[in-house]
Amino acid sequence: MNNHVVDEITTFLGCKTPTTWLEEAGRRIPDLLVDHAQCEKKAAYSALQLMFRYPEDEELAKTMSRLAREELRHFEQVLKIMQAKDIADRKQKASRYGGELNSIVSKAEPKRLVDTLIVGAFIEARSCERFAGLLPYLEASLAAFYHGLLESEARHYQHYLQLAKNRWAASTIGGSEIEFEERVNRFRSLENNLIVTVDDIFRFHSGPCA
């Protein structure tokens, strides 16, 4: 992947994943893969939810349809790796990450859609940043797989962010570009806190564990 894109994503996020999380992930490959598989399913589900919630938005529907297909394909790829490593899929308690980000999404439209898309951008960007950060901590075949995911995850982040910008500009809110950035910064501040502060469980989007 182009280093410029990785740098762009890191700038958008505002902070890097702590080394302590990366080191722990390298020691807990089964847990990492199980939650990664769950994340891919949840990402596909979130895309489908947006398609059903906003059926009149053709651009959104087309983008989310493609994204859902890619996320499900990624799930199948992760599942194949898990099967090869004799790792059983299982239900897991979700980390605080997604729930906390969604807790500050507006309840009123059109801000609700804009905020939901901003959350999607952060989730995809953080996934991409972690794929890149994990490479030195993984055995060669798994590192190659994660490296291959970087491009699509970066594309997903860009799609979510652009859709959010477009819908903010086209809405009746009347907000400026500066106000949009202020809205993004609100989510960035929370996201960064979730990434760097200690978590009680290890997950793909958790903070470092105690």
Rounded distance between C-alpha atoms, residue 120 and residue 101, angstroms: 10
Confidence band, pLDDT 50/70/90 cuts, at residue 2: low
- Average pLDDT in the 90-110 region? 93
Structural domain spans, the chain? 18-196
Q: What does the pLDDT read at residue 136? A: 96
Residue 122's closest CA among 208, 195, 45, 32?
A: 195
- Average pLDDT in the 97-123 region? 96
Model-wide pTM > 0.85 = yes
3-state SS assignment for residue 17: coil
Checking if the pLDDT of 187 tops 80, the result is yes
pLDDT above 70 covers a percentage of the chain that reads 97
Residue 180's closest CA among 125, 98, 99, 121?
A: 121
pLDDT digits (tens, 9 = 90+) for 103-113: 999 999 999 99
Checking if the pLDDT of 210 tops 80, the result is no
- Average pLDDT in the 169-186 region? 83
- Average pLDDT in the 137-159 region? 93
- 137 Cβ contact list (under 8 Å, min separation 6): 22, 23, 25, 26
- Average pLDDT in the 159-163 region? 96
Rounded alpha-carbon distances, angstroms, from residue 89 to 30, 31, 40, 43: 9, 10, 13, 17
Q: What does the pLDDT read at residue 174? A: 59
Q: What does the pLDDT read at residue 1? A: 58
Entry field: residues in the chain = 210
Q: Which CATH number fits domain 18-196: 1.10.8.50, 1.20.1260.10, 1.20.1250.20, 3.40.930.10?
A: 1.20.1260.10
Confidence band, pLDDT 50/70/90 cuts, at residue 151: confident
pLDDT digits (tens, 9 = 90+) for 7-58: 899 999 999 999 999 999 999 999 999 999 999 999 999 999 999 999 999 9
